[in-house]
Amino acid sequence: MLWLGKRMSAGRGAYVPSVATFRCTAVKRMVFGTDFSPVADRAAAYAKGLALSFSAKVEVVHVFDPDLFLDDDEPRLRTFDARLDVRSRRLEALGSAFLESGILTKTELTVAQPSWAGLLKVAEDEGADLIVMATRSKAQLKRLFVGSTVEELIRHATQPVLTVGPHAPVVEDGPLHFRKIVYATDFTPEAEKAAQCALSFALHDGASLHACHVVDCRANPATAAEGDARQAFERLIAASPLGEYGCELTVAYGAPAEAILALAEKVRADLIVLGPRRHSFWLTHVRRGVSLELLAQAQCPVLTVH
C-alpha cells in the first residue's frame, strides 16, 4: 500500500470560506441506543462524555425485539411481560447513571420489529442531532445484524451515527474530547457533508484533522490516479475551510476499509468520520464486508454522516 501524505491549501487567489465564519454542527439532543451488552456499556461511556462535552440532552433508548435474544438467560423467561420487565429495569438503572453524571436524561422502552426502525423513530420524534450505539465483532455483526440494525440504521438515519466497536478504548467519566480525527472521503456530496461534521468536531476540541482518499486498485492497479485525487482534494479545500484549518491529506491504494483503518492506527486517531453513499457505498461495500469490517475492527469510534 502506497501512502502519499501532503499538507495542502487552496491555490493562490482561490476563495476559501473562513474557519471564523464556519457554522459548527450543533449537538444538543442525542439518542443512545442500548441492548445492555458489555460493548453497549462501553458505548454508554462515550455517549455520556459527548453529552457532557456538548451540554446535550440524552434519550436513552432500548428497542425490544421479541424475536431477538442477545442474553443467554433471557430465553428462560418464557413470557413477553417477564422479558419486558427485565429490560425496563435495566433501562431505568442506565438512565439513572446518566442523570447522576449531571446529564439531562430521558429513557424510552419501545417494542418494534425491526429494532433499527424503532430507534430511528425515537430519534426523529426527539429531533436528535446524533445517534450513538455499539457495534459488535465482525462475526457477531454477520450473525446478528446484517440487513438489520447496523447498516440499516446508518443507511436510513438522517442524523450522524456514532458507532463504538469492541476495540474502542474504555473512556473515563467526564467530558469526551477527540484529539486526532481521520476523515475519509470519496468526494461525493455525502462525503462533503461529512467533511463539515469532521471539521465541527475538530474545531470543538482543537483536534488535528487527517483527510484521506482510498483508490481501490485491487482489481486493476492501472486505475490508480494520484493526480485525479489531488485535484479533487484541491477542489474540496477550495470549497471549504479545511485548508485554513490545516488538514493533512493522504492518498492510499488498496482495500478501502484496510487503508482507512491503517491510517487511523498510524496517526492514533480517536475518531473516524465517513460519508458513505446510501446507494453505492452500502449496496456495494456492505456485501463485501468492507463497512462491517471497518465498524467492527476500528480502534476508535466511527461517525457516519449522510
pLDDT at position 305 = 87
Instruction: Cell numbers for 189, please give them.
Output: 456530496
Q: pLDDT: is 288 or 51 the higher one?
A: 51
- pLDDT tens digits, 149-173: 677 788 888 899 999 988 999 999 9
Residue 119 has pLDDT above 50, yes or no: yes
62-96: b (≥16 Cβ within 10 Å) or e: bbbbeeeeeeeeeeeeeeeeebeebbeebbeebbe
Q: With contact defined as beta carbons under 8 Å apart, do 88 and 109 qualify?
A: yes
3-state SS of 126-163 is: HCCCEEEEECCCHHHHHHHHCCCHHHHHHHHCCCCEEE
* Helix orientation angle between 290-297 and 256-267, rounded to the nearest 10 degrees: 20
CA distance 11 to 46: 39
Residue 40 has pLDDT above 60, yes or no: yes
* Helix orientation angle between 115-126 and 149-156, rounded to the nearest 10 degrees: 30
CA distance 23 to 20: 8
Mean pLDDT of 210-230: 69
CA distance 99 to 207: 28
Average pLDDT, the chain: 79
CA distance 128 to 125: 8
Q: pLDDT: is 256 or 14 the higher one?
A: 256
CA distance 243 to 130: 26
Alpha helices (H) along 20-69: 38-54
CB atoms within 10 A of CB 20: 7
CA distance 38 to 164: 11
CB atoms within 10 A of CB 12: 5
- pLDDT tens digits, 54-81: 999 999 999 988 766 555 455 555 677 8
Residue 146 has pLDDT above 90, yes or no: no
SS3 at position 247: strand
Residue given cell 482561490 in the structure block: 14
CATH 3.40.50.620 is right for the domain spanning 31-134: yes
Residue 217 has pLDDT above 50, yes or no: yes
Residue 257 has pLDDT above 80, yes or no: yes
The sheet carrying 29-33 orders its strands as: 3-7, 247-253, 208-215, 180-184, 271-274, 302-304, 161-164, 130-134, 29-33, 57-64, 105-111
Mean pLDDT of 103-109: 95
Q: Which residues, 6+ apart, have CB-to-CB distance to 274 below 8 Å?
A: 184, 191, 194, 260, 294, 302, 303, 304, 305
Q: What are residue 251's DSSP bridge partners?
A: 4, 213
Q: With contact defined as beta carbons under 8 Å apart, do 253 and 259 qualify?
A: yes
Q: Which residues, 6+ apart, have CB-to-CB distance to 284 below 8 Å?
A: none
Where exactly does CATH 3.40.50.620 map onto the chain? 3-23+172-304, 31-134
pLDDT band at 125 (very low <50, low <70, confident <90, very high): very high
Instruction: Cell numbers for 148, please give them.
Output: 438489520
CATH 3.40.1180.10 is right for the domain spanning 3-23+172-304: no
212's enclosing H/E stretch is strand 208-215
pLDDT at position 12 = 36
pLDDT band at 190 (very low <50, low <70, confident <90, very high): low
Residue 3 has pLDDT above 70, yes or no: no
Q: pLDDT: is 202 or 306 the higher one?
A: 202
